[in-house]
Amino acid sequence: MIDLRNLIYIELYKLFSSTRTYVTFFIAIALMLIINLGMLMEGEKIFEFLLESISEYFIVDGEILNGYLVTYLAMNTLWVHIPVLIVIIAASIFAVEFEIGTIRLLLTQPISRGRLLQAKVLAMVVYNCVFMLLTVLAALIPAYLLFGTGDLVVFLDGVQFIQEETFLKRLVLSLIFATISMIAFSSLGMIFSLFFKNTLTSILLSMGVLILSTLLQKFVFGLFSAWQPFLFSYHFSKWQLFFMDVIPYHSILESAGFMLGMILILYLISYFKFKKMNITQ
Amino acid sequence: MQMLRVEELSLHYGGQRVLNNVSFSFEQGRITGLLGPNGAGKSSIFKVLAGLVRPDSGVVSKNGERLDDISDLRKSCSYMIDSPAFYPYLSGRQNLQLICKILGREKDLEKLMRLVGLDPFSKKRVKNYSTGMKQRLAIAQTMIHDVDLLLLDEPFNGLDPNGFQDLIALLRQLNEEGMTVVVSSHLLNELEQFADAFILLHDGSIALDISKQDLLKLKKKVSFVFDSTPPEDALKLISNFGSFEKGIQTAILNLEPHEIATTVERLVGLGAVPVNVETQNLLESKYLEITADLLD
């Protein structure tokens, strides 16, 4: 049977030959640059306002508004903006093949469906990694150039003070965790893509899940609190925990495990669905 | 020798029976035409053999060896499914390069594109290709794989007359080199010219499975047009072999090929000189006869 490496190469070739891939990169980079520009123009005023509430308890010495803070703030686009862009690609990974009919071109070659699925999943993982890296660099580099470095002050379960020297390590760990989260979210997009064979439907369903999950996460009282551990957004929001004074690795690893489990389950469902699917059109 | 044997193949989609326990075979080294009206099940057969669709039942054997998984046939068979699709944002050549990469094969793509008449358009994106150009590209992609069996579903769709003749010439050439070819088409006249055997499908069943040699032995439908009603003796002769349509002054007779010339002579001898003699294509007349019977 056909070499998996050849199939991965082909999937990556198709992915990076497609205009929409570069559109998502462009939008993500533009978003980061806009955030940097916004902070450059209005950042001082925003922080003066925010710091008013703690000024009676703390004497602030040094520059709070620095490149590391802007990078951290830019990463908050992980809540909605980044998943929206990523799912555009994930939701089309199968759907487009059905929509334009090339699924028949692929499956009439002597390749197993399992191998093809593996290749698409791995290509999607590569895309996520490239996307996340580009996005973070697009946030960090201009932020560093415009605002320099400094200690990080974060409002997260109180006020967290992160030393400048530890920021980059925390950023890398946070990036790895966020990438795993986005791969999990992409897996959802991909499985919708396989079931519905329509890009728009798959994108809308994925966004629906994200919106619902984020909304339900706000309901932390009574019966709703029992749902929390099963919500995607509950787990993926833990990228922020790398910016706590003491990083709660146990909680983060639990959520990483949830994400990886989600990826595995969605992969297995996709595998069995695709294996049995009749390609009639 | 039977290259491919299919036994008791059944398939249904969404409650509708598409293939009804059909059995047939493709002889090695032959060009077989797969015929039938729309919805007969031709494309479904190709889809089953390509592994795109799982049949409800059926056994497929290649060169006498039973295949445990029908989709294993893809290792030794190339397919062209109807309405072929390619990646629109890639050129024709790039699409073929993808297939080469999948198969792990090196192929002279320029030569291949030239063979199917696409060399001037090899760098053009497929989204700018016409239907006929996509058909040609699909044919090219079937020739990347090193196989001994070619299954082509409606390969003549969208081809202009030149393209059509070129494809027939190409298929004949491949067949002469040892390739077994199976072609489905609605173009009965043309198929009759170059295929060696015919399988006619109707409503999910095999209505006719015949070699060209046997087809040629069958009676033809011959129409004799007269400018006036023939004499009585001629009408009696006509009634032995068929019927006379008075309104259009035409006799339609079922004659074996060797009887046509002698029948013309006899009619002329009896004072009925036909102004026109037309022979209906064998395959077409058989097709119409069978499908009309089955509709009845």
Distance (Å, rounded) from C-alpha B58 to C-alpha B138? 28
pLDDT at res. B294 = 58
Asked if ipTM goes beyond 0.85, one says no
Please, what is the average pLDDT of chain B? 88
Average pLDDT, chain A: 89
User: Are the beta carbons of B87 and A102 separated by less than 8 Å?
Assistant: yes
Nearest CA in chain A to B81: A104
Q: Which of A3, A19, A102 is facing B86, going by the closest CB pair?
A: A102
Chain A residues within 8 A of B135 when measuring between CB atoms: none
**pLDDT of residue B46 exceeding 90:** yes
Q: Which residue has the tokens 């390609």?
A: A279
Rounded to a whole number of angstroms, the distance from the CA of B182 to the nearest CA of chain A is: 16
Is residue A78 predicted with pLDDT exceeding 90? no
A10 touches chain B (CB under 8 A): yes
- The sheet that has B197-202: what strands, in order across it? B77-80, B149-153, B180-184, B31-35, B197-202, B205-211
DSSP state, residue B196: S
- From residue B75, alpha-carbon distances to A11, A108, B78, B103, B164 in Å are 21, 10, 8, 10, 28
Rounded Cα distance between A103 and A123, Å, is 16
| Closest residue in chain A to residue B50, using alpha carbons only | A108
Percent of the residues in chain A that have a pLDDT greater than 90, as a whole number: 67
Q: Do B98 and A10 touch (CB under 8 A)?
A: yes
A144-186 per-position pLDDT tens digit: 999 998 888 887 778 888 888 999 999 999 999 999 999 999 9
Name the residue among B13, B74, B88 with its Cβ closest to that of A109. Answer: B74
Query: Does the distance separating the beta carbons of A108 and B81 come in below 8 Å?
Result: yes
pLDDT at A151: 86
Closest Cα in chain B to A277: B53
A64 touches B: beta carbon within 8 Å: no
Please tell me the predicted confidence (pLDDT) of residue B217: 78
pLDDT at B14 over 80: no
* A2, A19, A276 ranked by CB distance to B103: nearest: A2
What is the CB neighbour count within 10 angstroms for residue B59?
Answer: 15
Q: Distance between CA atoms of B146 and B124, rounded to whole angstroms? A: 26
**Residue-wise pLDDT tens digits, B269-291:** 999 898 988 887 777 777 777 77
Q: At residue B157, does pLDDT exceed 70?
A: yes
Q: Residue A14: its chain B contacts at CB < 8 A? A: 87, 90, 98
- pLDDT value, residue A95: 94
HEC readout, chain A: CCCHHHHHHHHHHHHCCCHHHHHHHHHHHHHHHHHHHHHHHHHHHHHHHHHHHHCCCCCCCCCCCCHHHHHHHHHHHHCCHHHHHHHHHHCHHHHHHHHHCHHHHHHCCCCCHHHHHHHHHHHHHHHHHHHHHHHHHHHHHHHHHHHCCCCEEEECCCEEEECHHHHHHHHHHHHHHHHHHHHHHHHHHHHHHHHHCCHHHHHHHHHHHHHHHHHHHCCCCHHHHHCHHHCHHHHHHHHHHHHCCCCCHHHHHHHHHHHHHHHHHHHHHHHHHHHHCCCCC
Inspect the interface and report whether the beta carbons of A104 and B74 lie closer than 8 Å.
no
**pLDDT of A57:** 67
pLDDT > 70: percent of chain B: 99
- Averaged pLDDT, B188-212: 87
A253 — pLDDT class (breaks 50, 70, 90): very high
A4 touches chain B (CB under 8 A): no
Interface test mutation site (partner B, options A109, A275, A277, max chain B beta carbons within 10 A): A109
